[in-house]
């Protein structure tokens, strides 16, 4: 996990805390929206990912009012994730580099046979990875 976070901060310029929060939110999103088997394999290939997901899920608070609530009512998906990332301090122009680096590490650690089905199963995700 330290390698992933170091690569994300180097690529995006985000501070370590923001990068950690963002990676946790993305992994939590993948766990919720992606294919269970492949996401489980990705999580297993990234030691420490379960802790980041637990932190992200604890911080969600379940509210989802305003724009996030409306998006959630429409399925939300990647748009809702983008809103969460912006709320965590990730600028819009850093979301794609963040996703690209996370998925590059995922491919290195878990393989394309794991990452391909994850990307293919979530509408809109491919534009960020």
Determine contact, residues 1/47, Cβ cutoff 8 Å. yes
Which residue has tokens 């409306």? 70
For 19-64, how does the pLDDT look when each residue is reduced to its tens digit (9 = 90+)?
A: 999 999 999 999 999 999 999 999 999 999 999 999 998 986 544 4
More confident site: 69 or 10 = 10
For 63-106, how does the pLDDT look when each residue is reduced to its tens digit (9 = 90+)?
A: 444 444 344 334 478 999 999 999 999 999 999 999 999 999 99
pLDDT at residue 120 is higher than 60:
yes
Q: How far apart (Å, rounded) are the C-alpha atoms in residues 18 and 35?
A: 26
Structural domains in the chain, CATH included, are 2-128 (1.10.490)
């Amino acid at each position: 996990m330290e390698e992933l976070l170091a690569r994300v901060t180097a690529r995006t310029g985000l501070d370590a805390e923001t990068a950690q929060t963002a990676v946790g939110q993305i992994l939590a999103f993948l766990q919720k929206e992606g294919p269970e088997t492949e996401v489980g394999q990705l999580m297993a290939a990234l030691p420490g990912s379960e802790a980041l997901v637990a932190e992200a899920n604890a911080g969600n608070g379940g509210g989802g009012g305003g724009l996030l609530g409306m998006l959630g009512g429409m399925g939300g998906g990647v748009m809702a994730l983008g809103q969460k990332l912006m709320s965590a301090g990730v600028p819009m122009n850093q979301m794609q580099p963040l996703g690209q680096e996370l998925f590059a590490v995922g491919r290195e650690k878990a393989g394309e046979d794991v990452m391909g089905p994850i990307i293919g199963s979530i509408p809109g995700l491919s534009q960020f990875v």
